[in-house]
Amino acid sequence: MFVTSLPTIATMIGANRIVRGPAITHPFGLSPEERRRIVERALAMLESDVEPNTVWELEEVSR
Amino acid sequence: MVRAVHYLNQFFAGLGGEEAASTPPTRIEGAVGPGRGLAAALEGVEIVATVACGDDFFAEHEEEALAEILQLVEAEGPELIVAGPAFGSGRYGYACARVVASAGVPGLAAMHEENPGRGAAGAALVVPTGSSVAGMRDALPRMARLASALAAGRELGSPDEDGYLPRGFRRNHLAERTGAERAIELLLAKLAGTTRTEVDAGFDRVEPPAPVTLAAATLALVTEAGCVPQGNPDRLPSIRAAGWLRYELGGETSLATGRYESVHGGFDVTLGNEDPNRLVPLDTVRELEGEGRVGRLHEAFYTTTGNGTPVAASTRFGQEIAEDLRARGVEAVLLSGT
């Protein structure tokens, strides 16, 4: 699965499981707490059935 | 009348099926087989001869076969060459593509867009057809239309307009309206759900793999963020990387500041270098491994620089990394992109 702040590009190149990270320069956020939320979201996506090119948003992630 | 030569395999030339697949190149007067239907639809073009070759003969003696075929073609003094349709047949499609690409006169080959021979056509035109001979009736008029246009010396329109597969060429032309007007028109079309492109994205489409149970799986970390050990010992380029690297993690629990850095030249790496876990979240994944949320973290992470990298190179990196991961029993990947 792919964590990136550019899900449009990820979709265009055919990635199927995409989580939108907060920024190009720090796709896993700035703080360890934020990182934990993003990684957990990504792991949940790996454990889920998805349609092709699915993008999951994060909640409450500072940009 | 423009003189044309038609190239066929042994089957469509009526020489026989697989048992005749070793037939060497041979010349037949006028149009035969699908060439008859083609001839009926052509305007201003006459098929003066058919050159045929067995599929196996071409595949097994490629250079010899091609040289003989080209000699037979040249002897007719044609101004145009047409090959196929080969539909989904790989051997035949490849032969058609090579003949048309090497004939030295304008020409076209016809085959299914996923025919593996398509790549050998180079700058020659390829008319898309169905994947089997059931597509013959559709294919012939389309081949005839494009061949007639070539014979007339007409400048071709876009692949869509003139019915050939995109060759990746971009041509400049002077538009009648301003960029602003055309941009708005495209935006409106997109909002209405109609999009079109003249540039084939050419990216693989794969079905999403089935979900995994991570508590019982091995997870690997992969990145294109250019993360490497401090000092970049293996000299990963900051742009246009030619390969990827694999770094053992040992028992490391974090990509420690000062021990790892990013050499990516496509974004500001200040925040990433302050804490490389922001690019490759080793610390978090180790925690989750300790908690049993993830069965096992793979013993190495994989890295490259995704910056100005051609699609072909990136595709190769992806295939190679996936192959390596698979061979080592990895079932899930957390990939970070910058």
Distance from CA of A25 to the nearest CA of B (A): 6
What number is the average pLDDT over the span A16-41? 95
A39, containing H or E segment: helix A32-46
Cβ distance A25 to B209 less than 8 Å, yes or no, reads: no
Residue reference for tokens 């990684």: A39
Read off the amino acid at residue B183. A
For residue B98, what are its two tokens? 């090579």
Rounded to whole angstroms, the Cα distance separating B244 from B91 reads: 34
Does B288 sit within 8 Å of A39, measured CB to CB?
A: yes
- Per CB-CB distance under 8 Å, the chain A contacts of B297 are none
Going residue by residue through chain B, which has 338 residues, state the pLDDT in tens, using 9 for 90 and above: 999 999 999 999 999 988 899 999 999 999 999 999 999 999 999 999 999 999 989 988 999 999 999 999 999 999 999 999 999 888 899 999 999 999 999 999 999 987 878 888 988 999 999 989 999 999 999 999 999 999 999 999 889 899 999 887 877 889 999 999 999 998 999 899 887 766 665 677 899 999 999 999 999 999 999 999 999 999 999 998 999 999 999 999 999 999 999 999 988 899 999 999 999 999 999 999 999 999 999 999 999 999 878 778 889 999 999 999 999 999 999 999 98
pLDDT above 90 (res A17) = yes
Give all strands of the β-sheet with B80-83 in edge-to-edge order. Answer: B26-29, B45-53, B2-9, B80-83, B107-112, B125-129
Give the CA diameter of chain B. Answer: 80
Q: How many CB pairs under 8 A join A and B?
A: 105
The contacts of residue B215 (CB under 8 Å, 6+ apart) are B292, B293, B294, B295
Residue B224 tokens read as 């294109």
B278 to A43: CB separation less than 8 angstroms, yes or no: no
Strand-pair partners of B225: B305
- R_g over Cα of chain A: 11
pLDDT for the residue numbered B198: 60
Nearest C-alpha neighbor of B238 from the set B276, B265, B272, B260: B265
User: Measured between CB atoms, does B278 come within 8 Å of chain A?
Assistant: yes
Which is it for strands B26-29 and B45-53: parallel, antiparallel or unpaired?
antiparallel
Instruction: Check CB contact of B336 with chain A, cutoff 8 Å.
Output: yes
Q: Touching check for A11 and chain B: CB below 8 Å?
A: no
Question: pLDDT, tens digit, for every residue of B60-88?
Answer: 899 999 999 999 999 999 999 999 999 98
Q: What architecture (CATH level 2) is domain B2-162?
A: 3-Layer(aba) Sandwich (3.40)
DSSP-assigned letters across all residues of B89-131: -HHHHHHHHHHHHHSSS-EEEEEETT-GGGGGGTTSEEEEE-S
Phi, psi of B112 (to 5 degrees): -65, 145
Q: Which of B203, B208, B271 minimises the CB distance to A13?
A: B203
Runs of H (alpha helix) within chain B: 34-41, 55-60, 62-74, 90-102, 136-151, 159-162, 179-191, 270-274, 282-290, 311-327
Q: CA-CA distance, B101 to B159, in Å (whole number)?
A: 18
> Please, are residues B57 and B13 in contact by the beta-carbon 8 Å criterion?
no
| Token digits of residue B78 | 């044609």
Closest CA to B252 of B294, B276, B277, B283: B283
CB contact under 8 A, A26 and B285: no
Amino acid residing at A5: S
A 16-35 near B (Cβ less than 8 A): 16-17, 21, 24-30, 32, 35
Chain A: give the shortest CA distance to residue B286, in Å: 11
Q: Where do the structural domains in chain B lie, given as residue ranges? A: 2-162, 214-336
- Nearest-CA distance from A17 to chain B in Å? 7
pLDDT at B293: 97
Contacts of A32 in chain B (CB under 8 A): 277, 283-284
Q: Is B332 on the interface with A (CB under 8 A)?
A: yes
**Could you give phi then psi for residue B82, rounded to 5 degrees?**
-130, 135
